[in-house]
Chain A
Amino acid sequence: MAKHKDIIYGLYNDEEDLLRAVKQAKADHLEIMDVYTPFPIHGLDPILGLSESRLHIAGFIYGSIGTLTAFLGMSWIFTKDWPQIYGGKPHWPVPAFIPITFELTVLFAAIGMVVTFYVVNGLGPGVVNPTIDLRITDDKFCICFDKSEVDASAVESFLRSSGAAEINSKTI
């Protein structure tokens, strides 16, 4: 599906080294393709200049749809479609709707956000994602460059000077 990319990447042993190296790369105007770490690193996002995820806005919209679906749906059923009296309550017993409205809000928001996340990131059953190096899920911290966007020799000298433990090239 995706176009093949020639990449060059450095592996670091420590997140402090990685943070320093990312700052250095930004200062040197080297275009970083991506950074891979085994765990979230505080303060990395602002250095990389990543903008805040908009997933929660989608979540709010899905949640609102869930609220309306539950509330309007129940209102229609209990007043127009099949009016019944339960326990001496009126046909439109709003307090009784609230727990279900809440549940459907959460359900719609949760499922909607998961599906959106998978679609946006190209994830899902049967999708194989290229792994740069298996050790980035364990104890290595990786900065990755796309060779078509940067000067490979400049990147290599940068990776070496910033303390990368390993420097590799790969086509993914």
Chain B
Amino acid sequence: MSYDITSKTRVTLLGGMAIGILCLALSWFGDDTGMHTRFWSNFLHNSVYFTGIALMACFFMTASITAWAGWYVVFKRVWESMSMFMIVGLVLMGIMALSVYLDWSHLYHWQDLSLINDPSSPEYDPILAGKAGFLNKNFYLFGTFAMIGAWVFIASKIRSLSLAEEKNGADGFNYHYRVRWWAAAFLPIFGFGMAAMVWQWIMSVDAHWYSTLFAWYCGASWFVAMICLTIMILLFLKSQGHFKNVSTEHFHDLGKFLFAISIFWTYLWFSQFMLIWYANVGEETVYFHERMHDYPVLFYGNLIVNFLLPFFVLMRNDTKRKMGSLAFTAGIVFVGHWVDFFLMLKPGILHTAHAMAGHGHGDHGDSHGHGDAAHGAHDAGHGAHGAAEVVLGPAHHGETIFELGYTLPGFLEIGTMVGFLCLFLFFVLNSLSSVSLQSSSDPYIEESVHHHT
């Protein structure tokens, strides 16, 4: 049985994409900084979020194949289609990487070569100079294209083998063994590649700061978002009368993953936080100090929405099996992890923007409030003022500057997210509509149809 994207769905999704393009255009033209930082930061935020969701769909599928799991096979086309979104992710992140390479955008502090080229300059930044072998535009461009390219290549191999299996019959276990080979090959490339690209794309907006478990934390965030989207796409397709064999049992297991990986995400979030809080080293603490004091709503809301809500709502057996509570949680947590990425990216980007504005004036003192904010954190990053000042608060403590689109997501951010979400859904539904939704020749299909938790 095949799915056809209905005209109503198509119009809705295209409308959402139009809103997204409108919001991107408004944030491009409404920006007076010259570097269009609000546009580029929203573009990066959403590109990274949805590319990562596609990547995680491919990861979970390949991990399940490698683990000989069978329960998900009845809806494996959804994950195959979601992972193919990495093609769009390659274009989006490719545009981002080109903008970094050609200096169209300036989101990353390490892009400013005047800080690392001349050791005798008073502006010289030994930390950034030490990281310049990895944090540079060549590596950013190469890594983005090479890594997403490799992921897309394997994802499309797996999908085409799976579709060939559907067309030609199982052929013994021939197709299955080949899929399993590619899945096992994907996992190490995914693991190391994802960590490196997370450092480049996300962690390096705070170029002085680093955390060794950041890639895990970020990956868990993507993973939860991927499960949320899977639940919502499956519920949507079921409401259209498809996927009759996807039962409460499958949703129960997806609910368990949503519950469990939310707790895993919290564990990583807290591990990162507590070690830095305990050690209280200024270079590290500045990251959380800033988020707790300048972004308190998002910082604590992040924990409430992404931990307390799924933890208490999905703790019981029956809330994972009732579509109302499951869809409710999935929808809210999906937005919650989008905000989590917002909080990873925007504070660092705002600093970079302020530092650039300061350079533009030629004198840090001239750029008053903004310059001070950037300056304070900048110095703390160097360790120039020592840890004590960071604990007491950087120079701008008590006079938090509100900037829409950075301190809190504004309408433009939300509209951009709607646009990217509709693009993602349109791509997934469109690639689902050209294939039979349920595999008939996968060796695990019987097990999956009769899945019982």
* CB–CB A43/B280 < 8 A: no
* CB–CB B280/A88 < 8 A: yes
Q: How far is the CB of A74 from chain B (nearest CB, A)?
A: 15
* B280 closest partner in A (C-beta): A88
Q: How far is the CB of A56 from chain B (nearest CB, A)?
A: 8
Contact with A along B259-285 (1 / 0, CB 8 A): 000000000001001100110100000
* B387 closest partner in A (C-beta): A88
Q: Does A134 contact B (CB under 8 A)?
A: no
Query: Chain B contacts of A88 at CB under 8 A?
Result: 280, 391
- The CA-CA distance from A60 to B317 in the complex, in Å, is 13
Q: How far is the CB of A46 from chain B (nearest CB, A)?
A: 11
Contact of A95 among B277, B315, B391, B452 (CB under 8 A): B277
Contact of B273 among A42, A60, A89, A95 (CB under 8 A): A95
* CB–CB B270/A43 < 8 A: no
Which residues 319-350 in B have Cβ within 8 Å of A in the complex?
none
Q: Does A98 contact B (CB under 8 A)?
A: yes
- The CA-CA distance from A124 to B83 in the complex, in Å, is 52
Inter-chain CB contacts under 8 Å: number: 20
Contact of B278 among A52, A56, A60, A96 (CB under 8 A): A96
* B317 closest partner in A (C-beta): A52
- The CA-CA distance from A42 to B451 in the complex, in Å, is 10
| Contact A42 B278, CB 8 Å, known A52-B317, A95-B273, A98-B270 | no
> Which among A42, A87, A95, A98 has the highest number of chain B CB atoms within 10 Å?
A95
Chain A interface size, as a band, is: 10 to 19
- The CA-CA distance from A95 to B317 in the complex, in Å, is 30
Number of interface residues of B (CB under 8 A): 10
- The CA-CA distance from A73 to B391 in the complex, in Å, is 28
* CB–CB B277/A87 < 8 A: no
* CB–CB B280/A96 < 8 A: no
Q: How far is the CB of B347 from chain A (nearest CB, A)?
A: 20
- The CA-CA distance from A95 to B270 in the complex, in Å, is 9
* CB–CB B280/A95 < 8 A: no
Which residues 71-92 in A have Cβ within 8 Å of B in the complex?
87-89
| Contact A96 B274, CB 8 Å, known A52-B317, A88-B280 | yes
Query: Chain B contacts of A60 at CB under 8 A?
Result: 315
* B275 closest partner in A (C-beta): A95
* A86 closest partner in B (C-beta): B278
- The CA-CA distance from A95 to B452 in the complex, in Å, is 40
Query: Chain A contacts of B391 at CB under 8 A?
Result: 88
Contact of A42 among B274, B315, B452 (CB under 8 A): B452
- The CA-CA distance from A35 to B317 in the complex, in Å, is 25
* CB–CB B274/A87 < 8 A: no
Contact with A along B28-55 (1 / 0, CB 8 A): 0000000000000000000000000000
Q: How far is the CB of A26 from chain B (nearest CB, A)?
A: 20
Query: Chain A contacts of B277 at CB under 8 A?
Result: 95
Contact with B along A80-116 (1 / 0, CB 8 A): 0000000111000001101100000000000000000
Contact with B along A47-81 (1 / 0, CB 8 A): 00000100010001000000000000000000000
* CB–CB B280/A87 < 8 A: yes
* CB–CB B273/A43 < 8 A: no
| Contact A43 B452, CB 8 Å, known A52-B317, A87-B280, A88-B280 | yes
Query: Chain A contacts of B274 at CB under 8 A?
Result: 95-96, 98-99
- The CA-CA distance from A56 to B274 in the complex, in Å, is 30
Query: Chain B contacts of A98 at CB under 8 A?
Result: 270, 274
Which residues 412-453 in B have Cβ within 8 Å of A in the complex?
452
Contact of A87 among B270, B278, B452 (CB under 8 A): B278
Query: Chain A contacts of B278 at CB under 8 A?
Result: 87, 89, 95-96
* A42 closest partner in B (C-beta): B452
Q: How far is the CB of B250 from chain A (nearest CB, A)?
A: 15
Query: Chain B contacts of A96 at CB under 8 A?
Result: 274, 278
Q: How far is the CB of A63 from chain B (nearest CB, A)?
A: 10
Q: Which 6 A-B pairs have the closest CB atoms?
A: A42-B452, A95-B274, A95-B277, A98-B270, A88-B280, A43-B452
Give A contacts to B, CB under 8 Å: 42-43, 52, 56, 60, 87-89, 95-96, 98-99
Knowing that A43-B452, A87-B278 are A-B contacts, what are 18 other residue pairs whose CB atoms are under 8 Å apart, sorted by A's residue number?
A42-B452, A52-B317, A56-B317, A60-B315, A87-B280, A88-B280, A88-B391, A89-B278, A95-B270, A95-B273, A95-B274, A95-B277, A95-B278, A96-B274, A96-B278, A98-B270, A98-B274, A99-B274
Q: Could you give 20 example pairs across A and B, Cβ below 8 Å?
A: A42-B452, A43-B452, A52-B317, A56-B317, A60-B315, A87-B278, A87-B280, A88-B280, A88-B391, A89-B278, A95-B270, A95-B273, A95-B274, A95-B277, A95-B278, A96-B274, A96-B278, A98-B270, A98-B274, A99-B274
